[in-house]
Structure 1
């Protein structure tokens, strides 16, 4: 049984490269990643101090994510990002989700 997974990827950059990385990750997602089978959604975040960019991405399964990593169309974007940013990937399973109480 495949279980959906979440990737929380944290990139560390020099503040002058934060927007460059956001643009690159946006392009990668808009032009290739979102069309790969198993992709559910992604959210891009930037730190207020300019040194981090974090992407939260949901995939239908670990296998789907691994297939994306092998995809020749998607991989050049990560290679380019690694030229000016450090990358720390975390793979997670959703345990529980909390929502605000409605009055």
Structure 2
């Protein structure tokens, strides 16, 4: 019996080399809207800017690691991603959810 596919979470941190994060945010937004958001298995993402303006974090949910990897292999956004790497220090991470916490119902 094949192993069950599990949802994965990508938490990618981009530490800025330049001072203004607006260009990076615009580029990540464009890539996500134009190619990632329509990929099979993509469940959603949020983009975060640290209060000190030095880091941008992309939190993305995927139905499975295989679907995420398939998107990366066939992605038309690789040239844009190469452009991003010039202006940041990229710290990628792929995680499995092991526990979720919520406030108790009132």
Which TM-score band applies after superposition, normalised by the shorter structure? over 0.9
- Between 1:14-23 and 1:29-38, the stretch displaced more is 14-23
Paired residue for 2:29? 26
Q: For 2:80 and 2:49, how far apart are their aligned partners in 1?
A: 18
Q: Output the TM-score relative to the length of structure 2.
A: 0.90
Count of matched residue pairs: 103
Q: How does 1:1-103 map to 2 (within 5 A)?
A: 1-14=4-17, 16-103=19-106
Q: Which residues of structure 2 form unaligned runs of 5+? A: none
The alignment partner of 2:79 has SS state of helix
Could you give the per-residue CA deviations for residues 22-68 of structure 1, whole angstroms, max 9, x where no partner exists?
A: 11111111111000111011010001111100000011111111111
The alignment partner of 1:68 has SS state of helix
Q: Output the TM-score relative to the length of structure 1.
A: 0.92
Q: CA RMSD in A?
A: 1.2
Q: Based on CA coordinates, which of the two structures has the bigger radius of gyration?
A: 2
The alignment partner of 2:100 has SS state of coil
Structure 1 residue runs of 4+, over 2 Å off?
Answer: 14-17
